[in-house]
Structure 1
Amino acid sequence: MKKQISICWLRRDLRLNDQAALYHALMSKYPVLPVFIFDPEILNKLTDRDDRRVLFIHNQLKKLNNELKVHGSSLLVIHDQVIPAFEKLKEEFDIKEVYTNHDYEPYAINRDSKVAEYLSVTGIPFHTFKDQVVFEKSDIMKSDGTPYTVFTPYSRRWKEAFFKLSLPEYPSELYLSKCLQIEPLSVPDLENIGFEFPEFNSAKYNISEDLIRNYHLTRNLPSVNGTSQISVHLRFGTLSVRYLVKLAIQWNEQWLNELIWREFFMMILYHYPHVVHNSFKKKYDQIEWRNDEKEFEAWCRGETGYPIVDAGMRQLNETGLMHNRVRMIVASFLCKHLLIDWRWGEAYFARKLLDFELSSNNGNWQWASGSGCDSAPYFRIFNPTAQTLKFDPKLIYIKTWIRDFKVDYLKPIVQHEFARKRALERYKIALNEIPI
């Protein structure tokens, strides 16, 4: 006779503490089997067989499995398309309910809709919960019921709503003994899902009171360890956003604002899914990009002759991360100095960033190009040299990532003033072609 169970389907919530879906599953009357599915629909789109994100997920799954073993349970990891994975689970278990947390990206919404339909046909309830954000979808709207498209009033309304909110608590870690008692299972090796073991330093974060209280003073200095490095942990849900917001409320409003920016971009993606492939401000799709492939390749390699740009790209290529201030500089340089379509840069970041999140990556690239909601005006063009003097005057960051650095190490790919004037002319022509 098959065991009657509830399934907690883990996705972007790879932790056992303060986890909404897991908590609700554990409160059900059936033992809970935590399941993670390595979905080929996602994996096959990854360009690099040594993608660091897959290793990060793999390492976290092993960690969760070891934690569950202490409670006599285990994590079941499946490598298959989602519907066939559930079909296999149904063959082995009498599944009474499935619990999972909301995801907001277009692929995930479509996938979850298909899973909900499949489970409905088979008579299995599908319960989903808000977990990776404080406010989602249409939680924060203007008084007329339409979405905000400017960050400042959105953040103001977010804060007003938060202080009226009783933040939910999901102490799932206290009830892990309710997980299904089974023989320990092993997490499949990376080779079994078509990936290699890349060189990888664990993504360490710092959410100490000292760092967060001083965040507004240090966040723009790439040579200083002045940022918390939580982005990858938010991306994969290894840290609870509710816990992080509580820290931010206590210690630093600027750090809180960065968490709110993340939810703002998620809300934009949910309400305006066209931004995945097109500019939020449609008139910006009229820009005639140069899209010089050799210049793009030089930018990717970190060989533009602009040290702050090249250091950032080399950090990205080597580690999968890049300092936030430098991300703005390199993105502006690609779009404005080289007149290369922001979508090219967005796609390269999507391929390389350990903390890649579609909504934030898209939102920030459109911000840099001027094409997004609440963007920098198109005539704001970062001067890489001025940015270096302001944020890395002793060249500490630059010399960290350009190890053979010397003055004039590479001839600049383009002169700043020439590029600035060219960008302004090209933008003006495009934006005047159709009514604003």
Structure 2
Amino acid sequence: MSLAIVWFRRDLRLVDNPAVARAAASHDDVLGVYIHAPGEEGDWAPGGASNWWLHHALADLNEQLGGRLLICEGKSLDTLKHLVEQTGADAVYWNRLYEPAAIERDTAIKQALRDQGQVAESSNAALLYEPWEVQTKQGGPYRVFTPFWKRLLEFELPKADSDSTPDTPWVSITRKKKSLAAVALDDLGLLPKIDWDQGIAKAWKPTRAGAEARLDEFLATEVKDYDSGRDFPAQETVSKLSPYLHFGQLGPREIVAACGRKKSASAFLREVGWREFAHHLLFHFPHTTDAPLDERFADFPWRKARKDLVAWQRGQTGIPMVDAGMRQLWATGWMHNRVRMIVASLLTKNLQLPWQEGAKWFWDTLVDADLANNSLGWQWTAGCGADAAPYFRIFNPVSQGEKFDVHGEYVRHWVPELKQLPDKWVHRPWEAPAEVLAEAGVELGRNYPSPIVDLKDSRKRALEIWDKIK
């Protein structure tokens, strides 16, 4: 009898899972294992919101496996060696991760297991194509999205084969005679000790069934308005599939297959392409998690202003569109993409605080915190990354709000202090006449803050700095 171990990481699904398929096709028994080893993530161990999602995703995977998921805690290599010794496993299969620390760790593990005589194989479950498969005509990596996306379309987007995963002979750990040092999921400490997660729990269903239902609902309804409506945060016209993709409860090939030939899905698939591009960049430029890709920004004179950073984090900047986004993030673990750009622009351009501070805050508070996407997004807005918005492009949160939240529904929902303000003033309360503020019950500096930065003056200062470094 031949036994294989499937090492689950951020591929928490049984369908369209190459590691599962390879194990099932070649072995009599398969043991599913998850190893909790946050210390191996380097400086980017999962944040609080990510850990919340991970807990529930693992519970769901275990349920799908009939309670047969083996959860362990410790160093990955030591744990795998122990499991191989205890079970007599012939092979270990897993799906690749593309963060710098994960690549270094997985390379060492593969070599160590092979040196012991085990089969050790990794596959691609997270991306449409491997980062090294998509190259420019000169043979190097892409740094601009549009030609990258065109190249992917030339390859054709691969689709998941729903019949590609055979019936898997999962082994129950209770049938094993030897100790496998199992750890209870609750003992991993992934859930918060205080109840800050109630809003997140209300907003999400972090299960495979939740992923499938959301994809079906989106393609049946909102996708037809995606291209025209995705910039309006008060509308439900975005997919909200990003956390399912990050944790591998849903794969990009499954999305391509589900979209099929829908012309209305082309704009949405392009956003899947941006995710692909982010991983392409992280693989080829691993330093960009912490350092700018554009070297001109290496010595950028960022400010140090803890008070301003905290005001931004708490949604207390006095600028409604920004505060609404930051409060949505804290309450639900997610923020609309248009608003992500607005809040990031205020932090890096108007407040002139380091983009790394914003990236760290998003990392801890987003349920879809993904190192590749997070690094790309922040460097794009800060103007120092690949295919970045020009530094002189500074999002004005007032005009952005008046354009994409015309009647203030988004702001009023997340900043209820301004609920009674007329549309004309809801995005610029500091300009409203005193009698209007009084009638709406708004007291600037008391029940809603005055702006912590002058948008016009700070924009001017940012452009002056750019003139010096460009």
What is the TM-score normalised by the length of structure 2? Answer: 0.85
**Deviation for aligned residue 1:183:** 3.3
Match of 2:167 in 1: 175
Q: What code does the residue aligned with 1:128 have?
A: S
* Matching residue within 388, 392, 415 for 2:454: 415
* Matching residue within 159, 162, 165 for 2:156: 162
Matches within 5 A, 1:168-247: 169=161, 171=163, 174-176=166-168, 178-183=169-174, 188-193=184-189, 195-196=191-192, 198-199=197-198, 200-201=201-202, 202-203=204-205, 205=214, 206-247=217-258
**Deviation for aligned residue 1:292:** 1.4
The reply to whether residue 57 of structure 1 matches residue 51 of structure 2 is: no
Distance 1:241 1:48, change over 3 A: closer
In the alignment, the residues of structure 2 paired with residue 160 and residue 61 of structure 1 have an alpha-carbon distance, to the nearest angstrom, of: 37
* Matching residue within 121, 124, 128 for 2:118: 124
The reply to whether residue 388 of structure 1 matches residue 422 of structure 2 is: no
**Deviation for aligned residue 1:351:** 1.3
Q: How far does the alpha carbon of each residue in 1:56-102 deviate from its partner, in whole angstroms, 9 at most, with x for none?
A: 22212222222222xxx711111222122113313420010011111
Match of 1:426 in 2: 465
Q: How far does the alpha carbon of each residue in 1:148-186 deviate from its partner, in whole angstroms, 9 at most, with x for none?
A: 1111111111111116x6x4636465413x222453898
The reply to whether residue 373 of structure 1 matches residue 386 of structure 2 is: yes
Residues paired across the two proteins, number: 422
In the alignment, the residues of structure 2 paired with residue 172 and residue 181 of structure 1 have an alpha-carbon distance, to the nearest angstrom, of: 23
Q: What code does the residue aligned with 1:155 have?
A: W
Matches within 5 A, 1:26-37: 26-37=24-35
Q: What code does the residue aligned with 1:225 have?
A: E
Match of 1:284 in 2: 297
In structure 1, stretches of 5+ residues that fail to align are: 432-436
What is the TM-score normalised by the length of structure 1? Answer: 0.91
In the alignment, the residues of structure 2 paired with residue 74 and residue 360 of structure 1 have an alpha-carbon distance, to the nearest angstrom, of: 32
Question: What do you get for the CA RMSD once the two structures are aligned?
Answer: 2.3
Contact 1:249 1:256 in 2 (8 A): no
Q: What code does the residue aligned with 1:390 have?
A: K
Matches within 5 A, 1:4-403: 4-41=2-39, 51-69=48-66, 74-162=68-156, 167=159, 169=161, 171=163, 174-176=166-168, 178-183=169-174, 188-193=184-189, 195-196=191-192, 198-199=197-198, 200-201=201-202, 202-203=204-205, 205=214, 206-248=217-259, 250-251=261-262, 252-403=265-416
- Among the aligned pairs, what percent are the same residue? 34
Q: How far does the alpha carbon of each residue in 1:199-231 deviate from its partner, in whole angstroms, 9 at most, with x for none?
A: 323345343332222211221111111111000
In the alignment, the residues of structure 1 paired with residue 172 and residue 340 of structure 2 have an alpha-carbon distance, to the nearest angstrom, of: 46
